[in-house]
Structure 1
Amino acid sequence: MSAPAGGDPAWSAAAKAAQARIDARLARRFDAGHPADRLIALRARAVDAQVRAAWRRCIPEDAPLALFAVGGYGRGELFPQSDIDLLVLAEPEAQRAWEAALARFVALLWDAGLEASHAVRSARECTAAAGDDHSVLTALIEARPLCAAAATEEALRAAVAPERVWPAEAFFEAKSEEQRRRHARFGDTSDNLEPNLKDGPGGLRDLHLLGWLALRSFGVHALDRLIERGRLGWDEAAALERERRALCRLRYGLHLVAGRREERLRFDYQKLLAVRLGYVDDADSLGVEKMMQDFYRSAAVVRRIGDRLLQRFEEHFEGVAAPEPIDADFERRGGWLAARSPGWLAGDPANLFALFAAWAADSGLRGLHSQSARELAQELPQIPAYADASPALREAFMQLLRGPQPVKTLERMARSGVLGRWIPAFQRVSGRMQFDLFHVFTVDQHTLAVLRNLDRFASGEADPRFSIAHHVWPSLRKPELLLLAGLFHDIGKGRGGDHSELGAVDARAFCEAHGLSEADTALVEWLVRRHLLMSVTAQKQDITDPEVIHRFAAIVADRQRLDALYLLTCADIAGTSPKLWNSWKDRLLADLHTATRLALRRGLGQPVAAAERIAENRAAARALLLDTGHADADVDAMFARMPDENFLRSRPEQIAWQATALHGALPFEPVVAARAIPGRDGRDGLDVLVHMPDRDGLFAAIVITLDRLGMSVLQARVLDGPDGTIFDTFHVLPAEQRQAPEPALLAAALGRALAGDLGRLLPARRSQPRHLRHFRVAPQLDFTDMAGGTRIGLICTDRPGLLADVARVLREQRLRVHDARIATFGARAEDLLLVSDEHNHPLSPDRCDALRAALLAVFDGDNR
């Protein structure tokens, strides 16, 4: 809201200066390590004095008005940038009579730098407003008198009592639903790259909710008062208080480093806050990663205990359901799984594994009963690491992987803390973030996402995002081995060194301890060690090259490894970021899997020759064209306009589409065509074909135009056609997924641009996205001479329009582009381009030096 006008300038200036001194003193105490929960109380007390002083300057003592602090301020909590929420309680006549004085009061606060929001209501109006909106009630039930008589305080309390508005059960249902919606806004996870400390899952708002429910349901103002009522364990209360203090410290520090009202732990502030809180970098982790790991772990505890407490509130209102026996050890209580005998879990870890087995056996259960969940938490310290466990206990764990719902079981074990006890290396990566834009989840949450993707493959149901995964899954001999590989593939992160190698060592030790055969152990170990191989091969190498396929097949060696690696790679990429998987990657990996499977079937001693692949693709494409009504002579004419290498590098259905685009075009007539990926609507990408007489700067013009049309180039294949023409193909993706262009319109716009003066086409100027400023990648360039030119390896910070700027530099250097493979990993661009001089020769050392300098100048401009 805007600040009201008016006030007392001298008093306001003095009050503002006094509050600034108080805030500075509190900030120094914060930096000295004083508890943040104590500091927010002191700040609330200091603001109380300012608000009361302003009130007395404007409102006579005998005025029929009362002033209350409400909301977080009413709780006595004021962070450095928190709202100051006030309620003036007055009857309608008094409201009208004192309207001007109240306006002066609010103006005085604003002039003093206290941005107060306020409501003026009578007791009856409070009842009506609270009845209409339970969030109003939430603020009012925490009302604290600032200038109010005891009778007025009692009148306000009575106005919003459960007998008048929102009975306790209705309030519980409304606030529980509100929490579900709030959590959904954050993807129902606290493990976001820029989490919200206040409103996000496991944040301070979840703790506030528990306090509101305790107050409304039992009339207690502190959660620990629920202990005596049997609703909360002392250990649970202590854990919630510990995490509340940790979250308060983070939020207090965030307000200080942001210097404004900010609840989201944005990249702009994460490193500054980590330094201010005393986190330091070491060989294994950045200080900011340690800080974020502490937050994620705090949020996980708040959610875990909060869920238990919400279940107990539900039982309070609905009554304890009659138990339904499952077997000698377990029963259902209101749809929740519970141990039949209190304390049954204690003393024998095998009972815990039996609990998860019973849970997995009944897919209709709502979850774990709060009593059993608390007992499980209490028994966590008694769970041995697998290396110290008995053979029987290890076998019990493997049976969970081989039984029903194995992935859900692993998720449940992870969230309850059991998996981290059983596999200590998993505990080390729990809540561990990676300070980049490629990994949007913590390591443990990414791992669980990978396992969920594998579970989808196992369902047998076709998923349009993964074209062949559901066909490949049935070939697995022992699916639990792939689950183990998924569980261990990133477990070595954060320890220094190659995480794939470290994880492979851990995976072998685990498999051997659990009695797996040497063949099974070797497969899991190999998958963990090589889990990046297929992704790197598909995205950085030309998988249409028979030599690339042969080398990859030689490493994979057999079909079992190939199928498992393909499924793990798909699950890994899709589980890294919701935005990372697309139909282009799906097609790359599916093509690589198919080509490698055929190579293995043929035998590694009989690699496919280029001439044989060209003949096969030509014949397959011809058959497709003949089936659609084209005559042999027409097919010959269309094929004559294509370079032989196109038959090596393209798939038959692509060749058939290209030929159809060429059909009817006159010699040397430019052909520009585009199509959505078959079966898609364009949001997952487009194929683009450009066939026209060659001109200097044509590649740069194409890339610049595509960039201006909002398309990102994922792959470019630049081939020389017959008679001085070019035959260029591109796979492009809309920069904004919701703005996929119509293929025909894109082709028309590109054709118009290429018909004009190419030299006038310049890259669009764009501002760099905010988040990229915090993830600088040191530029790296390498030049390798090879047949047909010089391959440029380029690594740098990604940004919109990067390839267009690189293409402009290549044009200015009078270089020809023959191939381009574009890969982006978060903020990191890793591109490979094959270029040559005007005579299709590799670049001389002098030209390499000039190109290096020009490209580095572009990257240096990004870093300013």
Structure 2
Amino acid sequence: MTENGLGRRRQRDIIDRNAVADEISSVLADSSVSEQRSKALAVLQATLREGREEISRRLIAMPSSGRSSATDQAFLIDQIIRIAYDFVTTALFPVANRSAAEKIAVVAVGGYGRGEMAPHSDVDIAFITPYKRTGWTEQVVEAMLYFLWDLGLKVGQSSRSIDETIKMALEDLTIRTALLEGRFVWGDREVYEEASIRFWNEVATKTGADFVAQKMIERDERHKRMGDSRYVVEPNVKDGKGGLRDLHTLYWIGKYVHRVRSPSDLVEVGLLTREEYRKFEKAENFLWAVRCHMHDISGRAEDRLTFDLQREVAERMRFSPRPGRSAVERFMQLYFLNAKTVGDLTGLFLAHLDEALGKKGRRFLPSFARKPRKLNGFVLDRGRLALPSDDFFQSDPIRLIELFNLADLHALEIHPLTMRAARRDARLIDHKVRQDARANQLFLDTLCSPRNPEAVLRWMNEATVFGRFIPDFGRVVAQMQFDMYHHYTVDEHSIRAIGLLAEIERGDHKDDHPLSTAIVRQIVSRRVLFVAVLLHDIAKGRGGDHSVLGAEVALNLCPRLGLNEAETETVAWLVRHHLLMSATAFKRDLSDFKTILDFAQTVTSAERLRLLLVLTVVDIRAVGPGVWNSWKRQLLSDLFEATEEVLRLGHKQKGREERIASKKSALQNALKIAPDKFKRLAKRMPEAYWIAEPDDIIERNIRLLQTNDSEPLVIDACYYPDRGATLITVLAADHPGLFYRIAGAIHLAGGSIIDARIHTSTDGLAVDNFLVQDPWGRPFQERDQIERLKQSIGDALANKSKLSPKLMAKPVALRRAEAFKIAPSVLMDNKASNRFTVIEVNAADRPALLNNLALALFQSKVTLHSAHIATYGERAVDTFYVTDLFGGKIESKARLKALESRLLEAATGAGHGLKEVA
């Protein structure tokens, strides 16, 4: 059998149109007119289902055959439409002698017109008639649409005459793009041919420049909607940056300007080289494979590669784990490398287009008027940095580093063809170039630039020069961090962090980061800070503690970059401890002096403290949007100021007694009450309360005590802007289980506790302060939201209803978290505090986790003094400061073991079954 014959047989295994038509004919022969449609529909439904199952089997058998799967889907829909059209026009609405107006061309448009579809893509079709629609054409179109809808297809359709089609194409870019991909499916071919000729003659020839410009604007707007980075960890395979739509945009532009019939023709018209087209094909095939698997797995048109889908697609595409990296991380690295290829091709394509149209006096890319004098042999091509000859890098590979240094120094864009040459010649960067003092100085100057190092380093990364010059960085290029906390790949996160550092140094974020903006100017070791930011995550994916391994990388790399011994040691220390400050601020009680002292003993110097604060800030900010908030800013500021005081003076400026006396004095001045009355009031609160709470919260608490002294229960709530949260205060007769009930009530009202301090007055009154945010890290500010929180707490404390059933019935908010397997752990520490046993619980974040843990603590008969809650995507880290019922640390090994066991049970969700105490 010939290859063509094999192809037809292969297609008939998906759907045999003639056989299906014969089956419908035989069914109709024995049916009444009223039964014909339903019986024909049943045959088509079975045919569609079987065709999809065959395509799915082929995809699973050959999991990388993306484009083949996409064309098979389009072929299946073609045949279904043809059969449906023939049935409608012959069985339902037959016309013996059609007039000139009774003609219809069924045209596939958009992606379907290109002959490529994912399993659940929209079926975009246009019904084109020669003139205005007649009664017969309206009947046929309506019947066709109902047929397709009843088959479960999502149809995007239009029904227009040829004149209407041309008129609307001139007015609307979306229609113009859809028709650009127009492909005849069935019906009257002459109508299609006339519409196609008129489209090219009357629309395309008049609107070429406008089409290209609008497509570029449309692309940029789409990228902004999708996060404006091709390295977001849950990318949109269709519309995201570096996705299929970017490749399609290149083809649309090439087709519009040069009337190419297929992407391969872009080579013939000079818009891509053969090698570039090979990369185009490879990237397109991979992206189509991923998209088809996603649709097939989810059973719907799902184009966002979510965490749960990443695992399943990686498994289907037969990725296996390697030391230090899971199968899903290896799959996603390949995804991002393909997305990067798409970005590279876009730049080169536009450069070729610009050159071709530039010769005709038209340009679509911006030009720059600046003409710097010293370019060391490089030249300007219409405002962009370019090469004087194609072998310019080969004659001196250090120019590969100098290119980006000059781009930064003179604020120049790099010509895309120069970027292509840099990408091609990056392999020339060998050991000799890496050890060259001038090359390292040029790189360091670029990294530490006060201008815009982020943009230039990203260009260097796109050209693969970055990874070649710093091989350790090359290992994390396109490497994802498979969790819900990090939004970007490791290389993108690091480059963004450097950009944020430069912006803070320029004062661009003084409102969000007033402390960092102030102290960054005091830093002596400026280049140490930039290098540390670059290297802080460089050892991720190596199968060990990336902080320890990264410090080893720093010790080897820094001398090469030209840093002296002291600078190298400081960079290595910063990389080793880059998580220390955030862990201390967010997981520990900063009012406990032991916390500050331990942190200060690790930091040892004010310069390191300043460096560590700024590194911590940019690291958190570069994780992704919405991760930074004013609560984190305040905690880091509190830790910095307390530690700076210890480092400067060797101890806290004010001892415990002096601090308490100072707070009491400030409160008495604010309240303006008689000394004897104030003394009695102040005596009600224990020493720990005065140390733990800030002045403004103390004043608010004491005013509540004054005005509600006879009330059995007081619940107060207000927006607390200093911490970007809602402050909730509960005054109630202290009794066991109070905290877990309040925690459960806050969760039921839609809140999430981020900090809690629990106090008991000398006369047995509980004074509990909670900082609460919504699930997106925002404070509750609206009156009805705050009232709902108060009502929920009041109902829980009044025991109006059982908490456990309501908590179990509350829907799970983080469905995506199910893609991650987190083994819970409980750490007991009797050294972190002089007064308390510190318990840290790491577990998968889920609804009512804090309530379950608090209930477990209550049932273990321990006294809770403060709780500190931190979440990192799907992972929760809850820290509790506790004592036994007599106020001492929990020392018994047996008791600690029992407490650990109960907390582990609660952390796994088994705590739902713990009996709730009335």
TM-score (norm 2): 0.85
Note if 1:701 corresponds to 2:741: yes
Decide which of 890, 905, 908 is 1:859's aligned counterpart.
908
Shift in Å, 1:520: 0.5
- Aligned partner of 1:489 in structure 2 is 536
The Cα of 1:608 is off from its aligned counterpart by 4.3
Query: Per the alignment, in what secondary structure is the counterpart of residue 547 of structure 1?
Result: helix
Tell me if 1:160 matches 2:208.
no
- Separation in 2, partners of 1:116, 1:692: 61
* Residues 733/116 of structure 1: CA separation in 2 closer, same or farther (3 Å cut): closer
Shift of 1:12: 3.8
Residue aligning to 1:187: 227
**Structure 2: which amino acid aligns with 1:37?**
R
In the alignment, which residue of structure 1 is the partner of 2:60? Answer: 31
**Structure 1 residues 552 and 744 mapped into 2: Cα distance closer, same or farther (>3 Å)?**
farther
Given that 2:714 and 2:732 are in contact with CA atoms closer than 8 Å, whether structure 1 keeps it comes out as yes
What SS does the aligned partner of 1:796 have?
Answer: strand
| Cα displacement (A) at 1:11 | 3.9
- CA distance, structure 1, for counterparts of residue 198 and residue 690 of structure 2: 81
Q: Does 1:347 align with 2:395?
A: yes
- From 367, 375, 378, the equivalent of 2:421 is 375
Query: Residue 104 of structure 2 aligns to which amino acid in structure 1?
Result: L
- Residue 791 of structure 1, CA deviation: 4.4
Say which of 252, 262, 284 aligns to 2:302. 262
How far has the Cα of 1:790 moved from its partner? 5.3
Q: 1:779 corresponds to which letter in structure 2?
A: P
Q: CA distance change for structure 1 residues 835 and 595 in 2, over 3 Å: closer, same or farther?
A: closer
* CA–CA separation in structure 1 for the residues paired with 2:438 and 2:886: 71
Separation (CA, whole Å) in 2 of partners of 1:337 and 1:450:
26
Amino acid paired to 1:849: A
> How many Å separate the matches in 2 of 1:532 and 1:333?
45
Aligned residue among 461, 473, 494 for 1:426: 473
- Equivalent positions of 1:288-367 (< 5 A) are 288-313=328-353, 316=357, 319=362, 325-327=371-373, 328=375, 329-341=377-389, 343-363=391-411, 365=412, 367=413
Aligned with residue 185 of structure 2, among 146, 163, 178: 146
Match of 1:77 in 2: 116
Give the structure 1 partner of residue 811 of structure 2: 767
Q: Equivalent residue of 1:88, what SS?
A: strand
Root-mean-square deviation (CA, aligned residues, Å) is: 3.3
- How many Å apart are 1:119 and its aligned residue? 2.3
Contact 1:715/1:732 (8 A) holds in 2: yes
Check conservation: 2:434, 2:440, Cα contact below 8 A. no
Q: Give 1:768's aligned amino acid.
A: V
Amino acid at match of 1:355: L
- More displaced, 72-81 or 208-217? 72-81
Q: Give the secondary-structure state (helix, strand or coil) at the position aligned to 1:568.
A: helix
Indicate the residue corresponding to 2:18 in structure 1.
none
Matched position secondary structure for 2:655: helix
For residues 56 and 123 of structure 1, the distance between their equivalents in structure 2, rounded to whole angstroms, comes to 22
Per-residue Cα deviation, 1:588-622 (whole angstroms, up to 9, x for no partner): 1111111111111123xxx449x813413531562
Among residues 665, 673, 678, which one is paired with 1:622 in the alignment?
665
Please say if 1:55 is aligned against 2:85: yes
Counterparts of residues 183-582 of structure 1 (less than 5 Å)? 183-313=223-353, 316=357, 319=362, 325-327=371-373, 328=375, 329-341=377-389, 343-363=391-411, 365=412, 367-384=413-430, 388-405=434-451, 406-582=453-629
- Give the match's secondary structure for 2:661: helix
Question: What is the deviation of 1:227?
Answer: 3.5
Does the 8 Å contact 2:351/2:417 carry over to 1? no
User: Which residue, 107, 110, 115 being the options, matches 1:68?
Assistant: 107
Which position in structure 1 is the counterpart of 2:140?
101
Q: Which residue of structure 1 aligns with residue 692 of structure 2?
A: 649
Change (3 A) 1:685 1:738: closer
Per-residue CA deviations over 1:369-413 (Å, capped at 9, x if unaligned) read: 222222222222222368844222222222323444234432332
**Unpaired runs of at least 5, structure 2:** 1-33, 91-95, 914-918
SS in 2 for 1:434: coil
Aligned partner of 2:105: which letter? A
Change (3 A) 1:634 1:707: farther
2-side partners of 1:104 and 1:748: how far apart?
A: 52
Q: CA deviation at 1:519?
A: 0.2
Q: Where in structure 2 are the equivalents of 1:731-746 lying within 5 Å?
A: 731-737=771-777, 740-741=780-781, 746=786
Conserved 8 A contact 1:634-1:663: no
Q: Distance in 1 between matches of 2:573 and 2:585?
A: 19
Query: What secondary structure does 1:198 align onto?
Result: coil
Looking at structure 2, the residues matched to 520 and 660 of structure 1 have their Cα atoms a distance apart, in angstroms, of: 52
Structure 1 residues 402, 774: CA separation in 2 closer, same or farther (over 3 Å shift)?
Answer: closer
Seen in structure 2, the aligned counterparts of structure 1 residues 811 and 758 have a Cα distance that, compared at 3 Å, is: farther
Q: Residues 436 and 723 (structure 1 numbering): CA distance in 2 closer, same or farther, change over 3 Å?
A: same
Q: In terms of mean alpha carbon deviation, does 617-626 or 847-856 score higher? A: 847-856
Partner AA of 1:719 in structure 2: H
Counterparts of 2:71 and 2:870, CA distance in 1? 51
One-letter code of the match for 1:86?
A: I
Distance 1:93 1:688, change over 3 A: closer
Q: What whole-Å deviation, never above 9, does each CA across 1:621-666 have from its counterpart, x for those lacking one? A: 6247537866655654543332111222234454445445545554
Structure 2 CA distance for aligned equivalents of residues 118 and 796 of structure 1 = 49
1:122 to 138, 161, 165: 161
Q: Match of 2:648? A: 601
Pick which of 696-705 and 571-580 moved more: 696-705
Which residue in 1 is equivalent to 2:14? none
1:530 and 1:322 map into 2 onto residues whose CA distance is 44
What is the TM-score with the length of structure 1 in the denominator? 0.90
- Cα contact 1:686–1:743 (8 A) shared by 2: no
2-side partners of 1:350 and 1:752: how far apart?
Answer: 67
Q: What's the CA shift string for 1:43-74, capped at 9, x where partnerless?
A: 43343333223322333696522222222221
CA contact (8 A) 1:718 1:817 kept: yes
Runs of at least 5 residues in structure 1 that lack an aligned partner in the other structure: none
**Could you tell me how far 1:271 is from its partner in structure 2?**
1.3
The answer to whether the Cα contact below 8 Å between 2:838 and 2:879 also exists between their aligned partners in 1 is yes
| Deviation at residue 794 of structure 1 after TM alignment | 2.1
Please list the CA deviations of residues 350-387 of structure 1 after superposition, one character each: whole Å capped at 9, or x if unmatched.
22222212211234x4x322222222222222223688
- Over 3 Å counting, the alpha-carbon distance change for 1:588 and 1:819 in structure 2 is same
Q: Distance in 2 between matches of 1:519 and 1:783?
A: 36
- Residues 178 and 402 from structure 1, CA distance in 2 versus in 1: closer, same or farther, beyond 3 angstroms? closer
Contact 2:106-2:187 within 8 A present in 1 as well: yes
The answer to whether the 8 Å contact 2:402/2:439 transfers is: no
